[in-house]
């Protein structure tokens, strides 16, 4: 559904301003490639913080204080 909405919005943009729509088709994949390392770093940091939280809360889980 999200993809269909994006295609519909792009078609409306194409009708209203076709140079901008064509530029978006070319520049969006390049922007995605530039931002990909930041997404990977963010995912990695999220996993590291979850691991730290799990290690800190492990003794409480054994005792049964935190569920």
Using only C-alpha atoms, the chain has a radius of gyration, in whole angstroms, of 22
For 18-67, write each residue's pLDDT tens digit. Answer: 999 999 999 999 999 999 999 999 999 999 999 999 999 998 888 886 66
pLDDT of res. 36: 96
Half-sphere exposure of 41 (CA within 13 A, CB side): 5
Beta carbons within 10 angstroms of residue 16's beta carbon:
9
Look up the pTM and report it: 0.60
Listed in sequence order, the DSSP H helices in the chain are 2-16, 18-63
* Domain ranges, ordered by start, for the chain: 2-63
pLDDT of res. 66: 60
pLDDT of res. 37: 96
């Amino acid at each position: 559904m999200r993809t269909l909405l994006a295609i519909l919005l792009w078609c409306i943009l194409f009708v209203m301003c076709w140079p901008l729509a064509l530029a978006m088709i070319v520049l969006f994949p390049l922007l995605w490639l530039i931002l990909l390392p930041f997404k990977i770093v963010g995912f990695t940091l999220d996993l590291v913080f979850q691991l730290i939280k799990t290690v800190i809360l492990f003794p409480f889980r054994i005792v049964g204080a935190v569920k």
